[in-house]
Each structure stands twice: as structure tokens, then as C-alpha cells.
Amino acid sequence: MGAGHDTVAAELARRARERGDSALVVDVLELLPYGLGGALRRFYHGSVRHFPWAYAVLYRLFLRPGPGRRPGGTPLARLAGGRLLELVARTGADVVVPVFHLGAQLTGHLRARGLLPVPSVVLVIDFEIHRQWLHPGNDHCLCLTEDAARAVREGTGTAAGTCGPVVAPQFLAAAPGAARWRELFGRLAPGRPAAVLSAGAWGVGSQLETTVRLLAGHGYLPVVLCGDNRRLRHRLARTRGALALGWVRDMPGLLHAADALIDNAAGQTAVQALAAGLPVVGHRPIPGHGADGVRRMARLGLSDFAGDESALLDALGRLTAPGPRRRERIAAGRALFADDALARVTDIARTARDRR
């Protein structure tokens, strides 16, 4: 739906090609017939940006973790089954790796019925496991944390383990572009810590202008990632003491140059910040899986959660200054990147094939 799933898939494919394998990235929404995928994307986009309460209701009905029977995504996902099976046969694929929950429902359905002849290894890219990631037909799930893997095993009985989050290597290494960003920050607001506010690829957030004014008024340089939301960028650009950005191509450099990330979704930007050694503060999360993920990150000790403006300022004060709290958060985030997801996928797929 957003750019995070695409980013993960593209990086997995890059790693595969780098070692001499072939890889094909497929958008499961484009496999759906009758234009359903485009309609679903437009509905989700409009709900999150303009009617967040509507998405919150859908999340409670379809996705929220917990016991009890609720509607699932399998009936929709199975409509893409024929096209996926044709792709697998035509390409001679050895494994299918869903990185989006609707894809996980599709592969689980096909594997459970003996229709998909190759293993399906689900890469769960959320910190909070909602029920649409789970289908007992899949061969294996790889999660960001052992906490999440345990939830998968308990929820479906499916084999589940952990792997490192999938980010480009530039986030984990020294980024050459960081010096240019620091120079820009220094010109705009000398001596002020740069606090990046992430609004995702679609520029979605609650009371962003209020947060920007708060930060600018308390000695920070707010750097807002507005994605493709031009209206939001133009509106925030008028705020004195703030830097509003559109689509940023040098995210590694930006995150290495900043002092903290203020996050509202626990998505790919938050993971990239952890890789870059940038402390994360969750604040005013978007409804549904965003809110659950932000709180889960904080409970795992990977970030701070700020429930109000005072808590946000307190957290930023602790995390942007040198000291044990900043070092602890950076170390906890970096510890997630111990394993290579592609290597884990390859090992699991090989084992599953050998058992046949």
C-alpha cells in the first residue's frame, strides 16, 4: 500500500541479484482482477489521509490481534491465485516471499491446498503482528523480533523465527551525504538539534503543524518528510524555523545527519532510523497498525513513546543529548540487524524443498 513494502521487496531483489540469483518483484494488488487492487489502494490512501477513523474501524474488524472470529483477507487474496501460479510456473521460481499481508494470505491459501509447488516464506515487516499476516498454510514466517515470532507460532502453529530488518546497506554504514545535510541544518538553525518528523510516503499525520511549531519554539529544527503530499509541504514550509521536504532520495544521509526521528507509524522509516543509529520517539501515531506498532516498539525498548507534548519534549531532551539513554536506544536498535533476511529465506526454502 505504501512505499515501505516496495522498499523491502526491492532491497531483497537487489541482494539476490548481487549474489547472482534472479528475482522478480510483484505487486499483489496488480494481480487482483477487475481493477480491485487499484480501488483498494485508493480507498486505503483516502481513508488514512482524510478519514482515519474509517481505517481504525476496519482495523478493529479485520486486522487487530487477539482471540475471536473475525472476517479475513483470504477470499480477496485468492482472486489473485491464478495469476501468481502462472508467474511461478513461467519463471521457475524456487520460493515466494510475501512482504505484504495480503500476499501472505494468498500464498498460505495456495500452499494449504497443494496448489503452490514452491515454499512460501513470509517476511513480516511490522513490529506488531496483526491477524492478516497469519495463515497456517505458509511454510515459515520471519519476523523482526522474537516477540513477534512467538506471536506467530502461538497464533497459527506455523514455524517462525527472526531475521534482520531489510534496509539498504547505506543506512548501516557511514553515509557520504550526511555532511551536506549537516551543513544545511547548520545554515538554517545553527546549534539546534534536527528532529525529523516522518509522515510516510503519503504525507499522513495528526496535528503535524502543531508539533512543528512546538519543536521550533523549543530550540529544535523540525525537518518534516512530507512524501508526495505537496499540499502539506507547502503549508508547513510557511512555518518559521522549519524545513519541509518532499520525496527525499538521500535518506541514509539525512538520517545519519539528524539527531532524532519522531515517528507515527513504526514503518520502514523507523527501521531505517534504527539502522542509522538515530533514536526514535513515537508520537501521535496513525490509527490501527501504526498505533499498535509504535507502542510495541516502545515496549521492546527500541524507542520512546510520547503521549503528549510535554512527554515529547522530555524524550527529545534525553535522546538528542550525549548520554546513557541515547547510547542504550542506539545499541538496542542496531542489535536488530544481526541476521540477513535473504540468507534466512534461502536456507528455509532449501530445507523445505529437501523435505519433499
pLDDT digits (tens, 9 = 90+) for 267-325: 999 999 999 999 999 999 988 778 889 999 999 999 999 999 999 999 999 999 999 99
Residue 203 in this model has a pLDDT that exceeds 70: yes
Answer yes or no: is pLDDT of 219 > 90.
Answer: yes
Whole-model pTM: value is 0.90
Average pLDDT, the chain: 90
In angstroms, the CA 213 to CA 25 distance is 41
Residue 44 has pLDDT above 80, yes or no: no
Does the structure show a pLDDT above 80 at 224?
yes
C-beta of residue 304 within 8 angstroms of C-beta of residue 298: yes
pLDDT at 71 over 60: no
User: Taking 60 as the threshold, does the pLDDT of residue 34 lie above it?
Assistant: yes
The DSSP element (H or E) to which 261 belongs, if any, is: strand 260-263
Q: What is the DSSP string of 92-120?
A: T-S-B---SHHHHHHHHHHHHTT---S-B
Q: At 233, phi and psi to the nearest 5? A: -60, -45
Answer for the pair 140, 345: CB distance below 8 angstroms, yes or no.
no
- Among residues 64, 62, 128, the alpha carbon closest in space to that of 293 is found at 128
Fold of domain 169-337: Rossmann fold (3.40.50)
Which residue has better confidence, 244 or 44? 244
CA 80, CA 76: separation in Å to the nearest integer? 8
The predicted model gives 11-26 an average pLDDT of 95
Mean pLDDT computed over 224-252: 93
Say what angle helices 309-319 and 324-334 make with each other, to 10 degrees: 90
DSSP string, 173-220: S--TTHHHHHHHHHHHSTTPPEEEEE-TTTT--SSHHHHHHHHHHTT-
Residue 171 vs residue 66, higher pLDDT: 171
3-state class of 162 per DSSP?
A: strand
The answer to whether residues 160 and 141 touch, using CB atoms and an 8 Å cutoff, is yes
| Residue ranges per structural domain of the chain | 3-164+339-355, 169-337
Q: Quick one: average pLDDT of 193-215?
A: 90
Instruction: Assess whether pLDDT exceeds 80 at residue 352.
Output: no
Closest CA to 172 of 255, 294, 248, 264: 255
CB contact at 8 A, 329 and 302:
yes
pLDDT value of position 63: 67
pLDDT for res 180: 97
* pLDDT given for residue 68 in this prediction: 58
Average pLDDT of 32-56?
A: 74
Query: What pLDDT, on the 0 to 100 scale, is given for residue 146?
Result: 93
User: What is the chain's length?
Assistant: 356
